[in-house]
Amino acid sequence: MEQIINVIAPTVFVIVLGYLLGRFGKPRVGTLIDVAMFIATPCLVFNSLYLSEVKMGEALQLWGVCLLVMGGNFAVAWVVFGAMRKRGTGVYLPIIFANTVNMPFPIIFLAFGEAGVANAVLYYIPNALLIYSLGIYMASGQKELRQGLKAVLRTPLIYAALLALLLNLNHVPLPGVVTNSFQLIGQAGVPLMLLILGINIRQFSIKQIPVTLTASVIRMGGGFAFAMLAVWLMRMTGLPRAIGIFQSAMPSAVFVSLLATKFNNEAELVSSIVLTTTMFAVGVVPALLYFLT
């Protein structure tokens, strides 16, 4: 329990600082996001994947868990909201796409080290590819698939992950000065992601409570249930199993609220689900860590 507190407390502290900064200061959130997503986080991802032992079989298993969870959650949501006669594609976005970067990465780094981050990155790859393609396609009313594909090509995290994976699997040596430089910059990624999360939370409010609560339970509860099914089917063990389950039970991706706002697709409802699942994470994350460790 003490170890879990030592992981959670710094995470919550930085999120609260971000919330206070957004409430009382005038931060340039766009600049922070650019630094985090285009510089710090790609360096963290590259260094973690390159320095950790990566097995292609485990990578395929993590990708399988991610895809099964996304597909399973969508199927459950389609049945539930069909019965509720809830129309619109916006509500499916925060159910399908989890926050697999700015909340879990810092916690996984503190709890499981760089090897844990490497596994988290592997899980992140299919989620990122689909949120920037299928996600934009759904949010835009099936009109902007090309824009989604362009967004994928402009995402340095993908290139950093694939390059590190390629170098790692082929045992290509890099000078220590290179890995140390990536490590130095990458260390800024953890606090930056948490600060941005804290700043973004203050912009959301809870709307349409019955639908919001139902979607939130499907996102996190369904994610956990389908992940348990997936790791059992694939007989996963050890760190990949733990990371697969942890990532699958994360709250909704903050990015989907931006998509819903941009394309005017149930933006208030989507933001409400993002906020609610993030609040649920305060209790879910310690319980997950206790279960997995």
Mean pLDDT confidence for 65-89: 90
Mean pLDDT confidence for 267-291: 87
Give residue 151's pLDDT. 63
Is residue 2 pLDDT above 80, yes or no? no
pLDDT tens across 150-185, in order? 666 777 877 887 888 889 888 899 898 988 998 899
pLDDT-derived band at 85, boundaries 50, 70, 90: confident
Give residue 272's pLDDT. 84
**Average pLDDT over all residues of the chain:** 84
Give residue 204's pLDDT. 63
pLDDT tens across 27-55, in order? 777 788 778 778 887 888 788 778 877 77
Lowest average pLDDT, out of 188-197, 228-237, 245-254, 268-277, goes to 188-197
- pTM (two decimals): 0.78
d(CA 8, CA 256): 25
Is residue 283 pLDDT above 70, yes or no? yes
pLDDT-derived band at 248, boundaries 50, 70, 90: very high
CATH level 2 (architecture), domain 2-292? Up-down Bundle (1.20)
Is residue 224 pLDDT above 90, yes or no? yes
pLDDT-derived band at 149, boundaries 50, 70, 90: low
Give residue 152's pLDDT. 63
pLDDT-derived band at 79, boundaries 50, 70, 90: very high
pLDDT-derived band at 58, boundaries 50, 70, 90: confident
Residue of higher predicted confidence among 262 and 244: 244
Cα atoms in the 13 Å half-sphere on the side-chain side of 45: 28
Q: Which residues of 208-222 are buried (b: 16+ CB within 10 A; e: fewer)?
A: beebbebbbbbbbeb
**25, 54, 198, 200, 218 from 29: Cα distances, Å:** 11, 34, 11, 9, 30
Give residue 233's pLDDT. 96
Give residue 214's pLDDT. 94
Q: Return the ∠ at Cα 73 (arms to 239 and 217), rounded to 5°.
A: 90
pLDDT-derived band at 144, boundaries 50, 70, 90: low
pLDDT tens across 92-123, in order? 999 999 988 878 888 898 889 888 988 998 89
Give residue 147's pLDDT. 65
Residue of higher predicted confidence among 252 and 154: 252
**Residue holding tokens 């395929």?**
60
